[in-house]
Structure 1
Amino acid sequence: GNATSDEVLKEAGIEQARGLVVALGSDADSVYITLSARGLRPDLFIEARASSSMAGAKLKKAGANRIIAPYSLGARRMAELALRPAVVDFIDTVIRSRGRDLQMENITVSHDSALAGLTVEETRHRTKAAILTISRKGGKLLVNPSREETIEAGDRLITLGTKKQLAALEEICERCKTNE
């Protein structure tokens, strides 16, 4: 069906969705769908494709959380590959390793999670999973946080570990949201 219709978005399960990716060839349709989705689900994470910075600005105003500009993204990736090929290869391997042993996960710590209040060291000791970054409310980003750093409710963690290690982390976390 036509995704610009609220009914089609509902039939597609927008009310239960963890997120929405709007990747159409038409920026106008993308803005319209973003507006519709935001109206139906104010809390939904929306990622939208934009063909230009102007279209990206309009999608932001319409309610998109993240804008993807394929040409800019492609140019940045080519530059990174030219400058740091081994780093890019490692990250690609880890990100695409679903089914393999080593994985990265994005976890949002809920207010009632047992993870809130633990230090990075306590978490590492219990799970063996590495916490690579902590994103705090207000935009503060802690890269390679110190072992004494305390995890807070609302933090977004980027973690690295084996399936077993990440499962142990999720078990402690309980009600945390994972964003695959």
Structure 2
Amino acid sequence: MSIISRAGDHRAKSKLLAAGADFVDSPYETGGRRMAQRALNPNLTNFLDLVFEWKRHDIEMEEITATESSKITGLKLKESGVRVNFNVIVIAMQREDGTMIFNPSSENRIMPGDTVIVMGKTKDLEKMAEVLNPEGEKTGGRP
């Protein structure tokens, strides 16, 4: 379990981390970054708003952890049929050791314990979750 906390100002961040928080977020820092991002990349920010602010309820980003029992674990992305069968976009894969692979190639394999970060329609993400994690184990991502 991760402990996530909110810091009212920048001085509180180190205190909260020292007290055991795994992640500390400051709404002022986040807001400042978001405003700068909107000025520099307005189209990207609008796109992310669609996904993260629920303006389109049919598109989501999810993290789904692959289990040993998945029939596509061990396969290359191109062999897994992820795009054809589930109509989702694989944005990244995080290995069990924490290594993050952004925009994985079709040659990357889905390994047990990988957290696959995908974007797509809710119904397609649910289908993919059933294949990556057939027993519905609680794994940190979508079961």
* Shorter-chain TM band: 0.7 to 0.9
User: Are 2:86 and 2:127, in contact at CA under 8 Å, matched by a contact in 1?
Assistant: yes
Instruction: Assess, with a 3 A threshold, how the Cα gap between structure 1 residues 117 and 137 changes in structure 2: closer, same or farther.
Output: same
Matches within 5 A, 1:83-102: 83-97=40-54, 100-102=57-59
Instruction: Assess, with a 3 A threshold, how the Cα gap between structure 1 residues 108 and 59 changes in structure 2: closer, same or farther.
Output: farther
Counterpart of 1:149? 108
1:55 counterpart = 2:12: yes
Q: Residue by residue, what CA displacement relative to the aligned partner does 1:137-159 show, whole Å, maximum 9, x if unpaired?
A: 34322111101111122222221
- Which ranges in structure 2 are unaligned for 5 or more consecutive residues? none
Matches within 5 A, 1:105-144: 105-121=62-78, 122=80, 123-144=82-103
- Pairwise CA distance, 1:172: 0.2
Secondary structure of 2:24's counterpart equals: strand
Counterpart of 1:162? 121
Output the CA distance in 2 between the equivalents of 1:108 and 1:163. Answer: 16
Output the CA distance in 1 between the equivalents of 2:98 and 2:62. Answer: 19
Output the CA distance in 1 between the equivalents of 2:113 and 2:20. Answer: 21
Output the CA distance in 1 between the equivalents of 2:22 and 2:71. Answer: 28
Count of residue correspondences: 136
TM-score (norm 1): 0.65
Larger mean CA deviation between 70-79 and 49-58 belongs to 49-58
Work out which structure has the larger RCO, using CA pairs closer than 8 Å and 6 or more positions apart in sequence: 2
Output the CA distance in 2 between the equivalents of 1:58 and 1:80. Answer: 28
Output the CA distance in 2 between the equivalents of 1:159 and 1:61. Answer: 33
- Pairwise CA distance, 1:83: 0.3
- Which ranges in structure 1 are unaligned for 5 or more consecutive residues? 1-43
Amino acid at match of 1:90: F
Output the CA distance in 2 between the equivalents of 1:71 and 1:106. Answer: 26
Larger radius of gyration: 1
Instruction: Assess, with a 3 A threshold, how the Cα gap between structure 1 residues 162 and 60 changes in structure 2: closer, same or farther.
Output: same
Amino acid at match of 2:26: A
Q: Percent identity?
A: 33
Amino acid at match of 1:107: I
TM-score (norm 2): 0.80
Counterpart of 1:5? none
